[in-house]
Amino acid sequence: MVGGRTPGTVGNRGIVYAGEGKVAIQDISFPDLVLRDGPGVNPKNVGRKCDHGVILKVITTNICGSDQHMVRGRTTAPVGLVLGHEITGEVIEVGRDVEFIKKGDIVSVPFNIACGRCVSCREQNTHVCLNVNPDRPGSAYGYVDMGGWVGGQSEYVMVPYADFQLLKLGDKDLAMEKILDLTMLSDIFPTGYHGAFSAGVRPGSTVYIAGAGPVGLAAAHSAQLLGASVVIVGDLIPERLAQAKSFGCETIDLSKHDDLGEQIEQILGIPEVDCAVDAVGFEAHGHGKGKGEAPAAVLNSIMDITRAAGKLGIPGLYVTGDPGGIDEDAKVGTLKIRFGLGWAKAHTFVTGQTPVMQYNRYLMKSIMSGKAQIAKAVNATVISLDEAPEAYQAFDKGAATKFVIDPHGTLAR
């Protein structure tokens, strides 16, 4: 018996990458407190003991735009990789070295996997932990080249370093009452907030958000929480722009306009903003009718329209390996960025994964108080595990929603 469970007696299902453009629901191993071999697991991580970890019964797990990059075949993710890094769950088993997290706790899991012991973690840079990924600093659940930690778009998942990483969400009734908001704490709310915060948004700021996907919408809501006077959101998809407009943002349809500064001037009276956020990443497209993929388009445009000495928050994902890149440079993450423009304007660039633990506790308090309405901002929509393949397809086509998977029908009940 392990924690009251006989190994092998409980099943587990998860969503796996099934090749370009496809995901599948499969029976996967029930997690234990050892990182086993499997698709995407770094050989140096195989057999890694995690007595400092816990097993979660997943309450909610969300589909992320970063997952879509893999599913589109735009990374080197292997077939069979269990997806999912946005996880909220109930603790059902604790490792022998876990002291403070208890069975029955409802917890949010930061998507960054962090040991809590290395120099980076001690400095709160948990997005570049030095001890969880043998290839390079930083790791995440269910993601390519991130060490191979099994993803959480599943019924059950193992989380290492539980005492350090997990954020308790109060008593169960309160947590479940706010679960659609709290599920965003694992990634997109801190990521959107990080984009706005690192861009220097403060009371009175004018802000441009590139991209009206869930992270862009979270960044827009975060900019409002930080006191921005005007938040402008640009995107190519009218439905997503309508969602941004629904909570008070100004919008620009980039499928119709190629001069972003001109459109901003129509809103603000001047063709520039105080700060900007790139919530698009490496699959960016050019602005205007009929424009195709242009991976540096967003970075160059936000440098163009951000005032001198302004800051650029860049939570949008950029990768070092993109098999579908438009040219040989793009395939290795080398982009034609007008860095001279950014230098001349004395811009500050903030890039990389979001250090979720710097923000999630405070954002949780904002949710609990009713100040933050993140589920409404991103149009959270609950689906079952079996509906996930259809949701992936809808999201890939630009659905103006954040899909929240309910693996056990907990929310439905």
What is the 3-state secondary structure of 289-323? Answer: CCCCECCCHHHHHHHHHEEEEEEEEECCCCCCCCC
Q: Which residues have a Cβ under 8 Å from the Cβ of 171 and sit 6 or more positions away?
A: none
Q: Which of 351, 371, 397 is the last residue of a domain?
A: 351
8 confidence band (pLDDT: 50, 70, 90): low
For residues 269 and 393, membership in a common domain is answered with no
Helix axes 360-369, 188-198, angle to 10 degrees: 110
Q: Is residue 4 assigned to a domain?
A: no
5 pLDDT more than 90: no
pLDDT at 9: 61
Q: Which residues have a Cβ under 8 Å from the Cβ of 310 and sit 6 or more positions away?
A: 199, 200, 273, 274, 275, 276, 345, 347, 348
Burial class (CB in 10 A: 0-12, 13-18, 19+), 410: middle
For residues 324 and 392, membership in a common domain is answered with no
Q: Is residue 153 assigned to a domain?
A: yes
CATH number at residue 397: 3.90.180.10
1 confidence band (pLDDT: 50, 70, 90): very low
For residues 207 and 342, membership in a common domain is answered with yes
Tokens found for residue 36? 């086993």
413 confidence band (pLDDT: 50, 70, 90): low
285 pLDDT more than 70: yes
Q: Is residue 412 assigned to a domain?
A: no
For residues 51 and 115, membership in a common domain is answered with yes
For residues 128 and 54, membership in a common domain is answered with yes
CATH number at residue 237: 3.40.50.720
Q: Which residue has 């995690």 as its token pair?
A: 50
pLDDT at 290: 79
Tokens found for residue 295? 């991976």
For residues 37 and 151, membership in a common domain is answered with yes
313 pLDDT more than 90: yes
For residues 382 and 289, membership in a common domain is answered with no
Percent of the chain clearing pLDDT 70 (strictly above)? 98
Tokens found for residue 111? 């998507």
Q: Is residue 301 assigned to a domain?
A: yes
For residues 125 and 213, membership in a common domain is answered with no
User: Among candidates 235, 229, 213, which has minimal Cα distance to 301?
Assistant: 235
Cα 389 from Cα 153, distance rounded (Å) = 12
Average pLDDT over residues 45-56: 97
Tokens found for residue 59? 């309450």
For residues 387 and 309, membership in a common domain is answered with no
| pLDDT tens-digit map of 342-364 | 999 999 999 999 999 999 999 99
4 pLDDT more than 50: no
2 pLDDT more than 50: no
108 pairs with which residues across the strands?
A: 88, 167
pLDDT at 291: 85
Average pLDDT over residues 254-263: 94
pLDDT at 308: 98
For residues 249 and 381, membership in a common domain is answered with no
Using DSSP's 3-state secondary structure scheme, residue 16 falls into strand
Q: Is residue 256 assigned to a domain?
A: yes
Could you list the residue range(s) of the whole structural domain that residue 95 is in?
13-186+355-405
C-beta of residue 355 within 8 angstroms of C-beta of residue 112? yes
Average pLDDT over residues 209-236: 98
pLDDT at 321: 87
208 pLDDT more than 70: yes
CA distances from 410 to 133, 363, 383, 404 (A): 33, 24, 11, 12
Q: Is residue 178 assigned to a domain?
A: yes
User: Among candidates 25, 317, 24, which has minimal Cα distance to 144?
Assistant: 317
Q: Which residues have a Cβ under 8 Å from the Cβ of 51 and sit 6 or more positions away?
A: 33, 95, 96, 97, 98
**Arithmetic mean of pLDDT over the chain:** 95
Structurally, the chain folds into a number of domains equal to: 2
Q: Is residue 152 assigned to a domain?
A: yes
For residues 311 and 162, membership in a common domain is answered with no
Q: Which of 351, 377, 392 is the last residue of a domain?
A: 351
Q: Is residue 413 assigned to a domain?
A: no
92 pLDDT more than 90: yes
For residues 287 and 381, membership in a common domain is answered with no
CA distances from 69 to 30, 105, 139 (A): 26, 32, 17
